[in-house]
Structure 1
Amino acid sequence: MLYGKVWVKGVAVSFLSFIFSWLALEGVSSLLLHWKQNGYRSTTDYTAKAGNAEPLKNSLVLIRNDTLGIVRPAPGPYEVSYAITQSDKRNTNRAQSEKQVSITYHIDSLSRRITPFDNRRAVGKYALFLGCSFTYGESVPDTSTMPYYFGKATGFRPYNYGVSGYSPAHMIALQQSVNMRKEIVEKDGIAIYTYIEDHLARVAPSTKWIYNSNGYWPYVNPKTVRVEGTYADKHPVNLQLIKGMYKSNIVNLFNINFPRRYSTEQYEQFVTIVKKSAQLYRSQFGNDNFYVVVFPAYPMAPELRQLFQRAQLKVIDYSTLFSWKTTFDHMHPNGDAYKRVAEKLADDLPLTSM
């Protein structure tokens, strides 16, 4: 009995010590987060104009598809202002300077970003672009996106189906819900999916993406490789655990995100989903002209590359082509980077045989 009481006492002391230590770390982390956020702040202010549509506060007007867990921009022009504020740490008064730039996005009646095109240069073929903000052209004008420069260089009419935040899982959700063949005039052409490393986290999906989306994320059935509802629908308990996890100052200070490394199974699932997108494209358009383009500065893991080769997917690797500067939001490439990739693609693809 004596040893039993000592054991219980030891456990209680250890438990209380852990709680107090955790609370202390949470407090310190809170102070560090506050200091970090005040030291540098970058914000993006949005104002939207889309005909009679009612804009969401501080956001583009979005069309939701709750069955598939995806959103698309509503038709209309949007004026987006990027306001970047940075503190001058050398000044004891913490003076701040601000630079504001406005970009206008134009969205057509089918929720695609409009890509200006000179009809006099048309060769009667299409170039279908799939992907995320790198395809969409976040923070650059309509005449500075990768689809724009590709159309200008080749005469292929570009169709921009990119949406900020998308992944290959979103791509197959979109392809399940939209018959793109009926939305494109030209008979022959190509499809280009732009790969960046963060797509792995979006397909996994990572805890950060699930938290930021509040579970409004396409759930891919691993057996059928079809999108069947949202992550919130399929994993409500996991969603609550993830939301609780990100209430921790420690987690937010160190930007903790899972998975930290990808397993072979996750790589295989990623390639399977991209291959499904290629198959959906082929079933709608009747050709195999589906290309995966690895964007500069995003090297593909050797194991993932081998899986793409095994799946017989056409991969064009530009990961080491050049380094690029960011645009006003400090996250995305500038127009010059998009132009160089598009013009390189125009040179490398066997366009005359399509």
Structure 2
Amino acid sequence: MTEQTIQVQLSTEKKQKPVSDQLGFGKIFTDHMFVMDYTAGKGWHDPRIIPYQPLMLDPASMIFHYGQTVFEGLKAYVTNDNRILLFRPERNMQRLNRSNDRLCIPAFDEELALEALKQLILIDKEWIPKAEGTSLYIRPFIIATEPFLGVHASSRYQFIIILSPVGLYYKEGIQPVKILVENEYVRAVAGGTGEAKTAGNYASSLKAQEVASQKEYSQVLWLDGVEKKYIEEVGSMNVFFKINGEVVTPALNGSILEGVTRNSVIQLLKHWGVPVSERRVSMQEVYDAYKAGQLEEAFGTGTAAVISPIGEFFWKDEKLVINEGETGEISKRLYKTITGIQNGTEPDPFGWVVEVDQKSVAK
């Protein structure tokens, strides 16, 4: 790890903390944030934890004009005995650097970033909610800050981490959600930025999401951008299907985000001896399985919702109601196990959780 001292400036005015049943998702932010700068020729420098505050950016900053930005999402949890746990945070930092590479953003020191994250969490640890289903959402992101109107990679960046106490991502909780299969709009194609976690991917999904919401569907299921035939992912989640006893998820193909929860689910299913495969899956195959009575479950996976059972797909003017709209047994077991590992109530045979305490933070 690069030897850089993380400077700390504590806030003199603390915000009022919300009650757990008023959290929502992504609306409330803690007292502090982490910031680090990049300058061409100097590299990443001046890592610091400072009071949460607005950013001061030049109107010509390249983020506003050319969308050069990446981000991540992970969570911190507090256990019944008041330990603070992170779930596979190193994978999020690795993925952030992979996204950096695709967006021509310089790689950062992952060890330093994790060190900064742990320090930030310890400073704002009183913000971690303790009620069931709550957690501290962590948003690392990088933006291009060079003031220049011209299309090239920026020479200046800021790496920022902010924290937000959150409740459930979907108001339905672990109850099944309804998904609209998208047949018109395209989110990403192989060779594009689909496998990077970058803002443009989400901006391009908003129109379809708006249409889905008008029809009272929670999310959009994206098909491939070339043939509009093969399943890719749901707007905020990777997707899995249990067909005739086998769990199937679309293979990573260059336009699908490699989810940390997705990877964890695959490992868990293999650990349990449940048949699981990563391969190309067409919507027609899912439809045929549904008609044959072999589509037993469907669910999404992601940091925000963890496991989100899918009770209905709407495709080509037809409703596909799965498992009579009820949460399936695999979905329940996965949710219970993963959230249990995350909050310390279930065994962690994989060594996924990282405890955050003073001993884990370098002096």
Per the normalisation by structure 2, the TM-score is 0.24
Query: Larger Rg: 1 or 2?
Result: 1
Which of the pair is proportionally richer in strand?
2
**More helix as a share of residues:** 1
Higher-RCO chain (CA-CA 8 Å, sequence separation at least 6): 2
